[in-house]
Every structure is written in C-alpha cells, then in structure tokens.
Amino acid sequence: MKSPFPLWARTAILVGRLIFAAVFVMAMAFKFAGMDATAKYIAAAGIPAAYPLAWVAAFFELALAVCFLTGAFFREAALAAAAYVLFLAFVFHGPAHWNGNQDQFGFFVDHINFIAGLLFAAVLGPGDILALTRARLIQKTSDS
C-alpha cells in the first residue's frame, strides 16, 4: 500500500522516532551507569522502593527505545512514554518545585512539550521507513 505521506514527511517521522529513541537510550544509560544516584534521586522525591523502581525505569526506557527504533508497538509505546513523562514532570519538576527555582518550571515545560510530540507520534504511527508494524509482522508469519 502506498503511503499517504510524501518522502520528506516519511523521513521526518523516522527522524522523530530516532530522536525519541535517543532520549530514552540516554536516560537509560545514565540510570544503568549510576543506579545508586538514580535511586537516591527517586527516594529524595519521597517515592518508596526507590532502588527497585530505578531498575524498572531503566528497563522500561530500554523497551521504549526498542519500540521507537523498530516501530514495533509504536503507538502503544508513544502513549506509555507520554504517561511516564507526565508522571516524571509532576513528581520531579512540578509546581511543588517551582518556588524560588525557575529552572524547575522550565524542566516541567520541556516535559510537557515532549509529551505533545509523543502524542502526535502516537497518532501518526511509526511511518513506513524501517518500521516493523503489525501488518508486516502478520504478513511475515503467514508467509512462513
């Protein structure tokens, strides 16, 4: 089936996927490289079981990166990532952190902008360039 998008738009979708993946790969790498520091940061926000949650967050970010890179379960990953980033925005940079710290408001707004991009991505889907979609998965398994 022919894509409804011109090549420039299909390429932009792929670049967007790569940017999303890069953000989550970097976040994951920082967590794996400094799990103790990540757990302390989580605990400082008042969240219990910080160390196990730091590991869960790192593996969740790995899963998101794989979905964004491959296009598999892309829409679900984009929606899950949006919910995750919304949680991070409020817990670590939300209104409780703004008093006397304008940087935290900026971080909060950055998270909200990222969520907007993730929601657009969920609607558009992974595109058709280097995307492992359900239709392709079903076609490959029925060809076997």
Domain count, the chain: 1
CA pair distance 128, 136, nearest whole angstrom: 10
Q: Average pLDDT, stretch 18-43? A: 97
**72 is a domain residue:** yes
Amino acid 17: pLDDT = 96
**2 is a domain residue:** no
Contacts of 136 (CB under 8 A, 6+ apart): none
Write the pLDDT tens digit of every residue in 52-70: 999 999 999 999 999 999 9
Task: Show the domain range for 22.
Answer: 7-143
Question: What is each CA distance from 44 to 41, 57, 129, in whole angstroms?
Answer: 5, 16, 42
pTM, 2 dp: 0.88
